[in-house]
Structure 1
Amino acid sequence: MLFTDLLNIDFPIVQAPLVGGYSSPEMVATVSNLGCLGTLALGNSSPEQIEAQCLATQALTDKPFAANFFVIQNQSSPGDSEKVKALQALDAYYTELGIDPSCLYQEKLSKRPDIHEQIEAVMAFNVPIITFTFGIPSIDILKKLREKSTFLMATATTIDEAKMIQDIGFDAVVLQGIEAGGHRASFLSEGNKGPDTSLLLQQMKGSISIPKIVTGGIMNGQQISNYIKQGADACQLGTAYLFTHEAKLNEDYIAAIQKSPIDTCLTKTFTGKYARVVRNKFTQEMENKTAMDFPYQSQLTSVIQRKAAELKKFEYMPFWTGSSDVRGYKQSTESLTRQLISDLQLSLSRKN
């Protein structure tokens, strides 16, 4: 059965979860209403926030949409000495931006939301498709979701991760190439390297039989068509949707990711996990310095990001984006999605 039939959607196009409030209910609902699959990014959300996001989305669409969650392997709190080393690496930026770091030395770092509570919250809304990033959740969580006939997907960056996802019984796998913007979904390695999107898809032939959704550097319908012709069942786009009005990026962010060619890098200095961002002063200077594990590093750098945004010192901010020769332009989610569908259909109708 086709992936589109399994999900009751019309087109093999998935809007990626964009953490940070970028994939709003308005974006998700618009994508789903046009026959594709919208995805809420709930990895950092509390149960109360999950309820609000689901309610807002369901008020705008009666079509299937997905919800994405993070699976964090190690939730142990960092020691004081580890925290001090990480703060010392950031001292120069606190000073330059006029931030008093003393409160951070005293502040207790908080754990991320509990995934069991998150899943309980989303199950109340019967969201039909649940996707996971950074790993595979517990058997207990998978059992609960399967009892509700939830379609389950998880993200892989290597053939070994994809095999593990398939072996445990997921319904589909998202294959994230090295070009993808934002966080690397790796869970069997750090994620600082890996195959590009095309090679990753090729590596699955003969080994992965569940539906394969590819993501990483995909910006238009022609590219979607090319990957489907290579064996993908669908394509997931993230950076392309950052250019839409519904993502609500400021003009400086848009300008930074609109440059062609785009200069990006993988760094874990902002959050503690490798992620692809626009290369800047902060990523270069912090390259070999101490960073705490995710999500604790992001708690230390968030104050830097807020102050940098206030002062318009964008060389200290993460502009998440994929690496691609094709760049987007500002438009509505509806306009982008309709164009993707039109270009995909036109390309698929052509003879090879």
Structure 2
Amino acid sequence: MDLLQKLKLQHPIFLSPMAGVSTAQLAAEVSMQGALGSLGLGASTVASAREQILATQKICDGPLHLNFFCHQTVSPDPVSMQNWINTLKPAFEKFSATPPKQLNCIYPSFLDNDDFLELVLETRPTLVSFHFGIPHPHQIQALKQAGILTMVSATNLVEAQLIEQAGIDIINAQGIEAGGHRGCFNPEIDAAIRTADLVKLIKAHCTCPIVAAGGIMNGQHIRQMLDIGASAVQMGTAFLVAKNSNAHAKYREALLQQQTTQISSSISGRPARALLQHWHREIDLPSRPDVAPYPYAYDIAKQLHSVASQHGDHGYGAFWAGANVAQIRDLDCAELIQQLLLEMAN
């Protein structure tokens, strides 16, 4: 049985589970088109995650993909945290504001406890995936016993091999072109491999099915990935301007107007690709000190964005986007999927 049959899909297209942007309506709409709808729950509380899952399942009883973060929770160093607060102080002062006195761990990890695991076992999605690392062995075993398929993001060959050795069902090959956070297990190590090259590399050394992610914007891109060994593709940026996306109006506007992206760890504490913003022009200077660790850095970034946006400046927003954002099309979800299928056939 191939991957599409296991997932009960008509088309080899996964919606990228974009935390903060994905909605129950968008996930359901994608699934109703025969592709795989997804919810990015890494930034959600258990209660919020349950609400989103149940809302999606109420709209559509088709396949559903949930995503969580498996980052290593760290104990912050007070000195480095204060250095980062001081670095961003001038940005706050531009808006006559003061930065926070301390930074908080705003996103829990799936590894920290089994609360999210119990939620997954309760709601029984088709697939659950993980970013930044691999779940604990007992968590993987519980998901397997429940008949829930698993997937983990890999940005290089070693990560892919560790994923396969852990008994994960699917490898998500995330190329350097991908928008949003890099899935690196260690944020200090990024092989920066192009999506097509990463798919070929993993295909040559691993036996798990591969889902390609990064820079995929049209049917020709999908066909290329399938031809070199991927079983499906995962697309995020292409769906950001869809009606049921939760992207802010200023975010949507920027996606349709800007064409340049850059990777920075300044926004969240982990490398992530976004539209060129103040972070890249003002903060990512050669003299920049070490960024506070993830997700503490994201805490102050969100506060800075909130302050700035109240003054009409949205340049501190986390406007995640892939390297091929210039190819984005202002289409709603169903229209986009139908267009992708037409392009795949030609």
CA distance in 2, matches of 1:188, 1:100: 32
For residue 341 of structure 1, what is the aligned residue in structure 2?
A: 341
For residue 257 of structure 1, what is the aligned residue in structure 2?
A: 255
Q: Secondary structure at the match of 2:262?
A: strand
For residue 113 of structure 1, what is the aligned residue in structure 2?
A: 108
Shift of 1:77: 2.7
Aligned partner of 2:144: which letter?
Answer: R
CA distance in 2, matches of 1:77, 1:111: 13
Shift of 1:13: 0.4
Give 1:1-352 correspondences, 5 Å limit.
Answer: 1-20=1-20, 22-73=21-72, 75-101=73-99, 104-105=100-101, 107=102, 109-110=104-105, 112-113=107-108, 115=110, 116-259=114-257, 262-287=259-284, 288-324=288-324, 326-344=326-344, 346-347=345-346
On the 8 A contact 1:155/1:176 being kept in 2, the answer is: yes
Aligned partner of 1:245: which letter?
Answer: K
Q: Could you report, residue by residue, the CA deviation over 1:133-186 in whole angstroms, capped at 9, with x for unpaired residues?
A: 000010111111111011011000001111111111111110000000000001
Shift of 1:112: 2.7
Q: Secondary structure at the match of 2:17?
A: coil
TM normalised by structure 1 equals 0.92
Aligned partner of 2:89: which letter?
Answer: D
CA distance in 2, matches of 1:331, 1:225: 20
Q: Could you report, residue by residue, the CA deviation over 1:44-103 in whole angstroms, capped at 9, with x for unpaired residues?
A: 111101110111000011111110000012x133132222111001010110022122xx
C-alpha change, 1:217 and 1:108, in structure 2 (3 Å) is closer
Q: Which runs of 5+ in 2 are unaligned?
A: none
Give the share of equivalent positions with the same residue, in percent: 29
Shift of 1:309: 2.0
Shift of 1:318: 2.3
Shift of 1:332: 1.7
Count of paired positions: 340
On the 8 A contact 1:219/1:326 being kept in 2, the answer is: no
Q: Which runs of 5+ in 1 are unaligned?
A: 348-352
Segment of structure 1 superposing worse, 272-281 or 245-254? 245-254
Shift of 1:329: 2.5
CA distance in 1, matches of 2:250, 2:186: 35
Aligned partner of 2:267: which letter?
Answer: F
C-alpha change, 1:172 and 1:114, in structure 2 (3 Å) is closer
Aligned partner of 2:203: which letter?
Answer: K
Q: Secondary structure at the match of 2:171?
A: strand
CA distance in 2, matches of 1:222, 1:55: 35
Shift of 1:331: 2.5
Q: Secondary structure at the match of 1:97?
A: coil
Shift of 1:206: 2.4
TM normalised by structure 2 equals 0.94
Segment of structure 1 superposing worse, 227-236 or 115-124? 115-124
On the 8 A contact 1:156/1:186 being kept in 2, the answer is: yes
On the 8 A contact 2:181/2:270 being kept in 1, the answer is: yes
Segment of structure 1 superposing worse, 38-47 or 331-340? 331-340
How large is the Cα RMSD of the aligned pairs?
A: 1.7
Q: Secondary structure at the match of 1:245?
A: coil
Aligned partner of 2:226: which letter?
Answer: I
CA distance in 1, matches of 2:89, 2:326: 37
Shift of 1:218: 0.5
CA distance in 2, matches of 1:162, 1:135: 11
For residue 350 of structure 1, what is the aligned residue in structure 2?
A: none
CA distance in 1, matches of 2:47, 2:119: 8
